[in-house]
Amino acid sequence: MFNVAQVFVGTSGWAYKAWQPGFYPEKLPQKQYLRHYASRLTAVEVNYTFRRLLSEKTISNWLAETPEHFQFALKANQAITHYKRLKNAEEAVQRFLSSIAPLAQAGRLGPVLFQLPPQMKAAPAVLDEFLGMLPRSLRSAFEFRDAGWFSSDTYDVLQRHSAALCIAENESLVTPEVLTAGFCYYRFRKPDYSLNERTQIAERIRRHAEGGREVYAFFKHEESPESPLYAVELLQSVQARAA
């Protein structure tokens, strides 16, 4: 048995008209998407923060449209991951953290995803120094898109700072399932998932939750409603097992 409240399932973004009518009701106005989304799922991964800093008004609107248990996982700003590439990034980090502070203060901030550029080669010492600069209260997950990062040196650095290895999978690269923090962070990016694959995903999520870890899992299909439908199915499967 486990507490289903520690499992957060959703998609990467929510403002996709292609999800009508499969997920959103056919005539639902786009301004009501987030409220409907949050009535069926428990978290969302926000890509918007990769390019722009959040305003207090935007955060206020998000909080008003979602229930108290709903979590926002944010992608770290590109100034940190792509321009600075984690080096000498103190000022960029502080600007980013200041912009998201209202979410953290409301208890609605999930992990921050640091997605590194595909061309960024493994540099565990750089990662170690960067993580030492982040506040310990910030849950962070790192998505590496060069396979050279997948080594014991990287895992040791993440574990020492209680940061999660983002377990991402797409057609070209699958991250090893190595747990380095007290929570798990999944990104499911393949163009399709069979019923058997989705069943296996649910088993993985339940296994981690039963082990006492919080789990964050996000699907991404912008062109069709499979993404949120897979997420709803996963959440219902986990909830059924926890009951």
The superfamily in CATH containing domain 4-242 is Protein of unknown function UPF0759 (3.20.20.410)
153 Cβ contact partners less than 8 Å away, ≥ 6 residues apart: 122, 124
- Measuring CA to CA, how many Å separate 2 from each of 58, 167, 213, 218? 34, 22, 10, 20
* Interstrand relation of 183-188 and 167-169 (parallel, antiparallel or unpaired): parallel
Residue 125 CA to residue 122 CA, distance in Å, equals 9
pTM of the model: 0.96
Neighbours of 236 (CB within 10 A): 13
**pLDDT tens-digit series, residues 17-68:** 999 999 999 999 999 999 999 999 999 999 999 999 999 999 999 999 999 9
Which pLDDT band, with edges at 50, 70 and 90, does 218 fall under?
very high
